[in-house]
Structure 1
Amino acid sequence: MCDTNVAHMVSSEQRAVGTATGGNQRPVAGRWTGAFIALGAVFALVALVAIARWGLQGPHSVNPGPDEFGGVKLVILRVLEWGQFAAFLVLVGWFVVKPLVERRGLGFDGLFILVSFAMNIWDPLDNYFVFAFQYNAHFLNVGSWGGFIPGWQGPHPELWAVPLGFIFGCYTWSWYAAVRLGSFIYHRLVVARPAWAQWQRYGLVYLAVVVQSAISEIIFIRLEHWTYPTQNSFFVIGHGQYGWPWFNCIIYGMTWMVMVWLRESANQDNGQGLSFVERGIDRYQIGSLQKTTLRFLAIFGFVSAVYILIYFVPFNLIMMNGTPVTDLPSYFPVPWGGR
Structure 2
Amino acid sequence: MIAPVFWAGLGVLCLLAQTWVFARWAADGNAHAYPSGGYDIPEPLRISTLALEIVVTVGILAAAVLLWRLSRTAGHVTLYTTLFTGYLLSFWTNPYSGTVYHAAGHNRYSLNVVSWGPYLPGWHGPFPQIESFILNASYPVSLIWAVIGVAVAGHLKQRRPSWTRARVAALTAVIIFVVDVPLETAYMRPGGWAYPRALSYLTLFEDDWYRIPLTSPFTMVLFVTMPVVLMYLYTKPGKEVWLLEGSLQLPPRARTPIRLLAGIGFINLSMMAFQWFMVMASLVSYQAGLPSWINLPNT
Same fold judged by TM-score > 0.5? Answer: yes
CA distance in 2, matches of 1:131, 1:195: 46
* 1:306–1:99 distance in 2 versus 1, CA, 3 Å: closer
Q: Which residue of 1 aligns with 2:282?
A: 319
**Alignment counterpart, residue 307 of structure 1, candidates 262, 266, 271:** 271
Amino acid at match of 2:162: A
**Alignment counterpart, residue 36 of structure 1, candidates 7, 19, 34:** 7
Q: Which residue of 2 aligns with 1:295?
A: 259
Q: Which runs of 5+ in 2 are unaligned?
A: none
1:277 and 2:243 are equivalent in the alignment = yes
Identity %: 19
Query: C-alpha offsets along residues 173-230 of structure 1, whole Å, 9 cap, x if unaligned?
Result: 3x22222222222222222101000011112221222223222223444444312223
**Alignment counterpart, residue 47 of structure 2, candidates 75, 78, 86:** 75
Aligned length: 296
Amino acid at match of 2:115: S
Contact 2:4 2:258 in 1 (8 A): no
Matches within 5 A, 1:99-118: 99=71, 104-118=75-89
1:210 and 2:210 are equivalent in the alignment = no
Q: Which residue of 2 aligns with 1:172?
A: 140
CA distance in 2, matches of 1:258, 1:222: 28
Q: Which residue of 1 aligns with 2:148?
A: 181
Deviation at 1:86, TM superposition (A): 0.3
* 1:77–1:134 distance in 2 versus 1, CA, 3 Å: same
Contact 2:97 2:278 in 1 (8 A): yes
Deviation at 1:300, TM superposition (A): 1.9
Query: C-alpha offsets along residues 92-115 of structure 1, whole Å, 9 cap, x if unaligned?
Result: 011126745x79432222222111
Deviation at 1:264, TM superposition (A): 5.3
1:261 and 2:224 are equivalent in the alignment = no
Q: Which residue of 2 aligns with 1:133?
A: 104
Q: TM-score, normalised by structure 1?
A: 0.77
* 1:176–1:240 distance in 2 versus 1, CA, 3 Å: closer
Q: Which residue of 1 aligns with 2:131?
A: 161
Runs of 4 or more above 6 Å deviation: none
1:329 and 2:298 are equivalent in the alignment = no
* 1:317–1:86 distance in 2 versus 1, CA, 3 Å: same
* 1:50–1:193 distance in 2 versus 1, CA, 3 Å: same
Q: Which runs of 5+ in 1 are unaligned?
A: 1-28
1:65 and 2:37 are equivalent in the alignment = yes
Contact 1:120 1:167 in 2 (8 A): no
Deviation at 1:168, TM superposition (A): 5.6
Deviation at 1:172, TM superposition (A): 2.0
* 1:192–1:258 distance in 2 versus 1, CA, 3 Å: same
Contact 2:77 2:260 in 1 (8 A): no
Q: Which residue of 1 aligns with 2:215?
A: 247
CA distance in 1, matches of 2:99, 2:74: 42
Contact 2:244 2:262 in 1 (8 A): yes
Query: C-alpha offsets along residues 217-274 of structure 1, whole Å, 9 cap, x if unaligned?
Result: 23444444312223343543414634321221012111211123335567x561x6x4
**SS in structure 2 of the partner of residue 161 of structure 1:** strand
Amino acid at match of 1:160: I
- Alpha-carbon RMSD across the aligned residues, in angstroms, is 2.6
* 1:295–1:118 distance in 2 versus 1, CA, 3 Å: same
Query: C-alpha offsets along residues 36-74 of structure 1, whole Å, 9 cap, x if unaligned?
Result: 232222222211211221222221213453332142221
Q: TM-score, normalised by structure 2?
A: 0.87
Amino acid at match of 2:278: F
Q: Which residue of 1 aligns with 2:120?
A: 149
Query: C-alpha offsets along residues 279-329 of structure 1, whole Å, 9 cap, x if unaligned?
Result: 233454x443x32111222222222222322x222210121343434x533
**SS in structure 2 of the partner of residue 329 of structure 1:** coil
Amino acid at match of 1:56: A
CA distance in 1, matches of 2:231, 2:94: 21
**SS in structure 2 of the partner of residue 305 of structure 1:** helix
CA distance in 2, matches of 1:85, 1:167: 12
Contact 1:63 1:137 in 2 (8 A): no
**SS in structure 1 of the partner of residue 132 of structure 2:** strand
Amino acid at match of 2:32: H
CA distance in 1, matches of 2:203, 2:153: 31
| Higher normalized contact order (CA 8 Å, seq sep 6+, divided by chain length) | 2
